[in-house]
Structure 1
Amino acid sequence: MASSNAARIAALQEQIDAIGGGMARKRARLPFGCREIDDRIGGGLSFGAIHEIAGGGVDAVNGAAAALFAAGIASRAKGPVVWCYVRDDLFFPALTQVGLDMDRVLFVQSDNEESVMDNAEEAISFGGVSVVVSELVRLPMVTSRRLQLAAERKGTMGLIIRRWRRQTEATDYGQPTASATRWRVSVIPSEPLPVVCVGRARWMVELMRARAGECFNVIVGACDEQGRIEVVGNDQLMNEARSA
């Protein structure tokens, strides 16, 4: 049911594009490789659009999960990547472990968020870049609209990582923006192993808002060395619960 609804909504979006632009614009998509996700969002994350990602809390662990989720997406896209930020706390070995080749990435550090927004818009408008990642506390509607329009013109994917220093700032994530999708990534206990060891990290991934799909949540294994996640099925979770 969810996949058929997503297909109908995607078809309606193409009709709207045809009315507004004189011809339908076929949006390229980047699949996650998981039917449980791709079937609900029209086949994958769309290029020519911006997507918001946030951690499930204001702590560093959930913030890192959101960044790794974004890095995994960028690693699977072909072409150059631009990463715009203020806080100098990126852990590059972790980005490499989820498949993001540092030779493909141009990191742009700014003194303030206004400059991050300007640099992101410039990078998206430049063209020839597959993904532009921006780290922001707030995303005003006007700014999101400018980024969205630039992404539509160039076919670039914009990933906005929403980062907060305090809980009160997280309330901004409920405000409307022009983003195509809005995600939340929360850290949960890792995969249990039959020996005393730490298994593959796991996340609760929630689609909180989507233009061409319905909201949902899934439990996934964190990004592997190719940037791919893996949905953990209900049967597997039940078996793990019985053996715990």
Structure 2
Amino acid sequence: MSGTSTIARLRAEIRHLEQGQCHSGEVLPFEVPALDAQLPGSGLVLGGARGPTDEAAATLFTAGIAARTRGPVLWCLRERDLFAPALAQAGLAPERVIHVEAPDEAALLNCLEEGLRHGGLGAVVSEVPKLSLKASRRLQLAAEGQDTLALALHRTPRPSGVTGQGAPSAALTRWRIATCPSAPLPVPGVGRAHWRVELLRVRGGTGTEFTVEACDATGRLDLPADLANGSGVEGRQELAS
């Protein structure tokens, strides 16, 4: 084997490890070219962990991702405040969702890990106030080798709570979602919601941020018409955590 071919093989293996692709290599694209271009493999790697930060918009962002996977979706939570009709509007039908209410954070993470190791689920969502580096590594290991998405949704911080959103994480991607003014309509009413989506971290890639139209009934995002046409491009904005 020549030195050139050996170097090329090693580089490919490094890219493989950086992207966390210890699985089938299948990805779930957003089908928004400008956003997919920022992700290794042009989509979310199935069998990896993602960590969107909070707000109601982040819940719907997560639901839209889960809706486009195949199979049941296990949603682990601490409180009975998940609104099924809203998830359905983001494409996640109620009959696909298996709800698990955990008594504490340890049980919550155990449910998430067991769901990932099951292998027959499309996605596993866990609403966690914080996620340590050690816990995120365990979840990433549980997700690898499966085609199941692990989605850790950080809950809105309470006045006396600590979110841990700035802590290190082994998640392949990390997101922050904020709401923007919806699109104006020519008649009275409220247009399709707009979100500010910030990709804070991606293994093997670089972060970015976009203003997008919220998930439709199939769980898909879209670019606003002015941005899709190349006009009205916005500068970087500070997002609320």
TM range (shorter): 0.7 to 0.9
2:195 corresponds in structure 1 to 203
- Counterpart code for 2:97: V
List aligned pairs for 1:86-165, cutoff 5 A: 86-165=78-157
2:43 corresponds in structure 1 to 44
Deviation at residue 106 of structure 1 after TM alignment: 0.7
Q: Which runs of structure 1 show a deviation greater than 2 angstroms over 4 or more consecutive aligned residues?
A: 9-13, 164-171, 232-239
- Counterpart code for 1:39: A
Deviation at residue 170 of structure 1 after TM alignment: 5.8
| Number of positions where the alignment pairs a residue of Structure 1 with one of Structure 2 | 220
Whole-Å separation in 2 of the counterparts to 1:10 and 1:158? 25
Whole-Å separation in 1 of the counterparts to 2:17 and 2:105? 36
- Counterpart code for 1:30: L
Aligned match for 1:31, one of 29, 32, 55: 29
Whole-Å separation in 1 of the counterparts to 2:12 and 2:217? 31
- Counterpart code for 1:238: G
Whole-Å separation in 1 of the counterparts to 2:231 and 2:185? 13
Deviations 1:119-176 (A, max 9, x none): 0001101111110000000101111111000000323210000113336756621111
Question: Is structure 2 residue 170 aligned with structure 1 residue 172?
Answer: no
Deviation at residue 198 of structure 1 after TM alignment: 0.6
Instruction: Note if contact 1:137-1:162 (Cα within 8 Å) is conserved in structure 2.
Output: yes
Deviation at residue 100 of structure 1 after TM alignment: 0.6
Q: Classify 1:216/1:194 alpha carbon distance in 2 versus 1 (closer, same or farther; 3 Å).
A: same
| Normalised TM-score (structure 1) | 0.83
Moved more, 166-175 or 121-130: 166-175
Whole-Å separation in 1 of the counterparts to 2:60 and 2:206? 24
Q: Classify 1:169/1:237 alpha carbon distance in 2 versus 1 (closer, same or farther; 3 Å).
A: farther
Deviation at residue 54 of structure 1 after TM alignment: 1.0
Deviation at residue 76 of structure 1 after TM alignment: 0.7
- Counterpart code for 1:13: R
Q: Classify 1:10/1:189 alpha carbon distance in 2 versus 1 (closer, same or farther; 3 Å).
A: farther
Whole-Å separation in 2 of the counterparts to 1:122 and 1:171? 24
Deviations 1:4-61 (A, max 9, x none): xxxxx987422669xx99xx75421001010011111021111111000113xxxxxx
Secondary structure of the 2:67 match is: helix
Identity of aligned residues (%): 41
Q: Classify 1:208/1:218 alpha carbon distance in 2 versus 1 (closer, same or farther; 3 Å).
A: same
| Normalised TM-score (structure 2) | 0.84
Secondary structure of the 1:129 match is: coil
- Counterpart code for 1:108: V
1:181 corresponds in structure 2 to 173
Whole-Å separation in 1 of the counterparts to 2:14 and 2:91? 35
Q: Classify 1:10/1:160 alpha carbon distance in 2 versus 1 (closer, same or farther; 3 Å).
A: farther
Whole-Å separation in 2 of the counterparts to 1:170 and 1:208? 20
Secondary structure of the 1:231 match is: coil
Aligned match for 1:14, one of 13, 16, 20: 16
Greater helix share, 1 or 2? 1
Q: Classify 1:167/1:226 alpha carbon distance in 2 versus 1 (closer, same or farther; 3 Å).
A: same
